[in-house]
Amino acid sequence: MDIQKIRLLREKLRLLERESNDRFRSDNGCCGLTLGQCHTLLEIGNKDQISLVELASNLGLDTSTLSRTINGLVFLGLVNRLTNERDRRYIAISLSDQGRKVFDEIEKTFNDYFSGVLEFIPVEKRDAIIESISLFTDALREYNDSAGCFRERLPSVEGEEK
């Protein structure tokens, strides 16, 4: 593949990340939550109930890292954590009533924001944008799942061990 196209893609992805994340790092974008808490709350809100293990997998986190985020959301009264009496390893996560309200508010904020962004794209190209982003994110996930450790693929620098 043409290296210039790859560089342009990387540049545009960095810009996409900055532009979209900066909007939601502010207090009003994610209702005062950190971006990690916001992503976690949204993932939980899209399910009635989800296991800690499934949630960690969906977010690409290990369970110990996610547990700290969940603890913070439980402390804020936004999330319920239920341990299965038969299998103490199974932890079910759901939104509390307050968490559902915050989830709905964040969803509205995101929907309004991206609706406004799409207004700057010609109507006839909007579906193509959504399809392209879907294809690209699916390809990223598939590649990441199959590629192994990134560090192992890097060329070694003289004097440095892999």
The larger pLDDT score, comparing residue 55 to residue 31, is at 55
What gap in Å lies between CA 53 and CA 157, rounded to an integer?
Answer: 37
pTM: predicted TM-score of the whole model, two decimal places = 0.78
Instruction: Report which of 77, 83, 72 is spatially closest to residue 39, judged by C-alpha positions.
Output: 72
DSSP for 63-126, written as a single string: HHHHHHHHHHHHHTTSEEEEE-SS-TT-EEEEE-HHHHHHHHHHHHHHHHHHHHHHTTS-HHHH
Q: How would residue 40 be classed by pLDDT, with cut points 50, 70 and 90?
A: very high
Reported CATH class of domain 26-120: mainly alpha
User: What is the arithmetic mean of pLDDT over 12-39?
Assistant: 80
pLDDT tops 80 at residue 147: no
Arithmetic mean of pLDDT over the chain = 86
| Residue 162 pLDDT exceeds 50 | no
Are 31 and 76 a contacting pair, CB within 8 Å? no
What would the pLDDT profile of 74-131 be if each residue is shown by its tens digit?
999 999 998 877 777 788 999 999 999 999 999 998 899 899 999 999 999 999 999 9
Q: What ranges do the domains of the chain cover?
A: 26-120, 122-154
